[in-house]
Every structure is written in C-alpha cells, then in structure tokens.
Amino acid sequence: MSLELGALLLFVFLFLFLFSGYPVAFVLGGVSVIFLVLFVPDFMSLLPLRIMGTIQNYVLLAVPLFVFMGLVLEKSGIAEELLTSMGVLFGRIKGGLAYSVVIVGTLLAASTGIVGATVIAMGLISLPIMLRKNYSVPLATGIIVSSGTLGQIIPPSVILVLLGSVLNVAVGDLFRAAVVPGLLIVVSYLLYIFAFSQLWPEKAPALPEEEVRQYKGKGYVGRLVKSFLYPMFLIVAVLGVIFSGIASPTEAAAVGALGAVFLTLLQKKLTWQLLKGVSVETTHLTSMVFMILIGATTFSLAFRGLGGDKFIIDVIEKSNLSPNQFLFLVMLLVFIAGFFIDFIEIIFIIVPIVGPVFMKFQMDPLWIGILLALNLQTSFLTPPFGFALFYLKGVAPPEVKTSDMYKGIVPFIILQLLVLSLVALWPGSLKII
C-alpha cells in the first residue's frame, strides 16, 4: 500500500471514530499511533520528542491562566452586576435590553474570554427579563448566544492562543490584529438591533419609565461605575501590558488571573471553596485541551510521515488553484466542519494540514489566523452542535423552543460571515491597532 493511500485511510478512520462518540483526544492519538506502527514505524522514535516539544510550549501556559481568570470572574458576580446596570441604563430606548446584552458581552469577552460562562450568565439574568417584556424569542436568544461568543475573537481569546501555537504566529500580534474585526462584529450586532427595533418596535420594546426608576433606586450611579470599572481594570491589566510591550501574552494572562482574584477579594466573595472549585474546573478544562493537543501532535506526525502534507500540496498544484481559491475552499471546509465538531479539533486537525499550503502560497499567516478565528467563532453558533446554543438551552425557560433559537441565530451568523468577507477583502484593517 502506498503512503498516500495510508494518509487517506488515516483521515477516513479518524472521522469514523470521531462520529462514534469516543473521546476526541484518544481517537486522535490512538488511530495515529496504529498507523505509525503499521506504515512508518521509524517515526515512532520521534513521537516523544514531538509531544514534549509541544507541551513545553511557553505560550500555551496562557490557556489555563485565561480559563482560571474567566471562571473566577464568573463566580465573583461581576457579570451579574454589569448586566443589571446596563439593562437599566439602556432600558428607556427601543431594543435597550438587547443593546445592553451586546455591550456586556463585549466587556466580558475582553476581560474573560470564556464562552460558556458568559452565555450562561446572560441567559440566566437577561433572558427571563427580555421574555417578560415581550421581546421576540428568536431575537432574545440570538443576541445572547452571539454576544456570548464574542470572547472567541475579542482578545484575550483561547482560540487565538491555540492558533498562534499551530501557525507559529506571535500571540500578541494576533491579539492586536483581532481588535478591529472584533469591534466590527460588535457594531454589526448593534446596527442589526437598531434596524430590528425600528421595524418591529413591539418585538423589542423599551422598559416603562416607572420601572426604570424603580430599578435604579439609591446608589445606582455608584453601582454602575463600579460594574464598569471592574472589567475595565482587567482589560487594561491584560491587553494594556500586551499592546504596550510590557509583557508577553503568557505573562499578561498571569496578571489577569491575579487581577481576577483581587477583584473577587474586593467583592468580599473570595473563599477557599471558590478557589478550590475554580481550580478543579480549570484543571479539567485545561487537561481536556492538552490531551487533544497531544493527540493532534501524534496525528500531525503520522500524517506527515505518510506524506499527506506533500500529497495535498501536489494535488493543489496540479489542480491549478489560485491562493484565493484555495483560501475559499479552506474557509468553506472549516465553516462546514464547525457544524459537527469542536473548534479545538478543527484547529488541531485541519489547520496543521492546510498550514504548509498557505506557506507555499506565501500568504500572511497573521491574516490567515484572524480569518480562521472569525470562521471558528461561527462553530459555536451553527446547529446542530453549536455549543453556545446548548449552553443557553440548558438555562432557558421551558417555553423557549430549540427552533426559536435556530431562527434567532441565523442573522448573526450572516453578520459574522459578512465581517469575515470584509477582512478577507481588506487585510490592511488588521494593521490599524
């Protein structure tokens, strides 16, 4: 059997086992080791070196630190206070509650970057209020899940950290380049809410004046300022030191983790039980990511040992695809894959395979990384396996149907794809920050 056929079979068996429901990390590692032993046993001696080289990557230390930071903020009540304050601040205008969800999602994205925590917090606090005020169910659910996923493109983002390690791009550069696309998505959401509330004001009503007055009460201004200052403190602490060149992303993640603990202490909610719970959950999430990373490293070695990367480059060259045509095909593949598999698997399975082809075409890896991040963000929203949809469904009232959530998310997926297209056509936008 030729090595090229072996590489093709590796792919086939990998996806067959992935859809069987067996843990991804063990599918990646197990299938790859079998193919290494059967077809290129000499490469087995390289496997320990590849694995150690991967897990010793200093940049990847940022992953558990950012996860820890986000989980601490979730437990501290900062998200809840921010949502309540924003809801009152914008409540007097049509679509005000929807505007507040987008702004809170943006601030939480720039200070935590944890999708699950953000979607669940906003679903528990905002969704019942929006439904009581006769908001359209598709609009309410769509705006919550889409705003909750902003942490995947607005730095600090775990997706950008992982993409940086795979594409060999400085994570700080990716963070800087992601600011403009992230803000474009936020602005597009706000414009959509404005248009929707003007066309169907009864589906995105303002809060009654007396209700806003009742919510405000004594000390509202102080609570509003404090709810803004806490996330802004973390944003400056993390992104400020990166963009100014004072610290690397990994060092900034450590600053952010310490800052989150400090803010929790100010809230008088720092307890041993909180730290223990956050630490255990951080360990679980980080272990999952790194086990997938080790499996993906094994897969990458097997695929290259079988000559899969050379085979793909040969096929692309013989097909006479232009760089832009190849980019379009990759983006389409990633978008479709996002319907069925997690962003981590896409990063560690697909990106290492197509990366050498992008290098062959001499395409800017920074630009490619941002395009992939924008595309991967949609994987949290696209049914049937959009994780953000599952998070919201788990905390939504019984009257919220899955079909309503699917309807509500479609406009926001379209908006994200429009921003993706703009960045693809205008690479210079990444150099503004």
Tokens of residue 400, six digits: 């919220």
CA nearest neighbour of 384 among 366, 365, 368, 406: 406
Name, in order, each residue with C-beta under 8 angstroms of 150's C-beta and a sequence gap of 6 or more.
105, 106, 108, 109, 118, 182, 185, 186
Q: Is 148 exposed, middle or buried (0-12, 13-18, 19+ CB in 10 A)?
A: buried
CA nearest neighbour of 186 among 81, 107, 79: 107
Angle (nearest 5°) at CA 106 between 87 and 172: 160
Query: What one-letter code names the amino acid at 205?
Result: P
CA distances from 37 to 45, 54, 71 (A): 11, 21, 41
Enumerate residue ranges in the chain where pLDDT < 50.
none
Name, in order, each residue with C-beta under 8 angstroms of 294's C-beta and a sequence gap of 6 or more.
25, 29, 51, 54, 55
For residue 408, how far is the Cα from the chain centroid?
19
pLDDT of residue 419: 94
Rounded distance, CA 145 to CA 393, Å?
A: 10
pLDDT of residue 218: 62
CA distances from 83 to 49, 66, 105, 236 (A): 48, 22, 9, 20
Query: What one-letter code names the amino acid at 185?
Result: I
Where in the chain are the domains?
3-431
Residues 110-119, buried b or exposed e (16+ Cβ, 10 A)?
Answer: bbbbbbbbbb
pLDDT of residue 141: 92
pLDDT of residue 227: 75
CA nearest neighbour of 255 among 276, 232, 239: 239
Percent of the chain scoring above 70 in pLDDT: 91
pTM: 0.78
CA distances from 98 to 66, 110, 143, 319 (A): 27, 19, 7, 47
Name, in order, each residue with C-beta under 8 angstroms of 322's C-beta and a sequence gap of 6 or more.
none
pLDDT digits (tens, 9 = 90+) for 195-207: 999 999 888 888 7
Supply the DSSP string of 78-137, one letter for each residue: HHHHHHHHHHHHHTTSTTHHHHHHHHHHHHHHHHT--HHHHHHHHHHHHHHHHHHTT--H
Query: What one-letter code names the amino acid at 317?
Result: E
